[in-house]
Amino acid sequence: MGQSLGCFQVGQSTVAVKEQFGKFDEVLEPGCHCAPWCFGYKVAGKLSLRVQQLDVRCETKTKDNVFVNVVASVQYRALADKAADAFYKLSNTRGQIQSYVFDVIRASVPKLNLDAAFEQKNSIAKAVEEELEKAMSAYGFEIVQTLIVDIEPDVHVKKAMNEINAAARLRVAANEKAEAEKIQQIKRAEGDAESKYLSGLGIARQRQAIVDGLRDSVLAFSENVPGTSARDVMDMVLVTQYFDTMKEIGASSKSSSVFIPHGPGAVKGISSQIREGLLQAQATEK
């Protein structure tokens, strides 16, 4: 009965366009309505007011001649107060939006290098949104938001970019490693130099102490034993030290065979060398 009288209902977030004898009559809001067919009324169609999304994939090239696929996501909806324009003025809304997106992307991306295109995704999206808003508002549609969700270079280009990035990181790592090794070598050399310097000071002080001790011993012996000269005492001390050294060498379990000259002449030569060293040390002090 309701259908014969032309009664129908319009769902929520939807409007219906009513015509009379093929001419636009009015936009019907959500609810129950009557359009008696006997008076020439009919529902030409319905229009959703919900936000819809259109993903557009556009191929273009950058300023440095790299072909990329730019994926744009456009969110739009029909305006309730302009439902008649949205219903009658466009036969293919999605195709119209896609054409505008193609136009703006292919005009914007070729002005940018590949790296700049990645960095300025928001600028590209804003340009697309402004152009769509200006164009689609005349047809009763509102552009809610436009996003550039992806920029996909050619597979070979992407691989080359990854290799360049990896090479740059390896170069930085190599520089850091070389710098660390350089610092280690410098510190090691500084430590070795300092060690040798301190060792030299220790040896010099040791020799000075030996010279001072021998000198004091010779002077004390000369004073206590009349008739002996400093040279006699020195020769005796040197011979004593010579035999003590030979004793220590023979007593050591880890020593191997050692051949040294032995005899009065050898002892005399050793004493002469030590005496000369003592005299040079005394001269250095003066």
> Is the predicted pLDDT of residue 114 greater than 90, yes or no?
no
Spatial CB neighbours of 74, under 8 Å, sequence gap ≥ 6: 53, 54, 55, 56, 97, 101, 128, 132, 143, 145, 146
Give me the helices (H) in the chain, please. 83-88, 93-108, 114-119, 121-136, 155-224, 230-251, 264-285
Nearest of 69, 61, 162, 66 to residue 109 by alpha carbon: 61
Which tokens sit at 99? Answer: 């054409």
Give per-residue pLDDT as tens, 241-279. Answer: 666 677 776 676 565 665 566 555 555 566 666 666 556
In angstroms, the CA 191 to CA 180 distance is 16
Which tokens sit at 110? Answer: 């070729």
Which tokens sit at 222? Answer: 């000369």
- Average model confidence (pLDDT) for the chain? 80
Length, in residues, of the chain: 286
Give per-residue pLDDT as tens, 150-209. Answer: 888 877 777 777 787 778 878 888 888 888 888 988 988 888 888 888 888 887 787 777
Instruction: Please tell me the predicted confidence (pLDDT) of residue 41.
Output: 82
Q: Which range is most confident: 226-230, 238-242, 251-255?
A: 238-242
In the chain, % of residues over pLDDT 90: 15
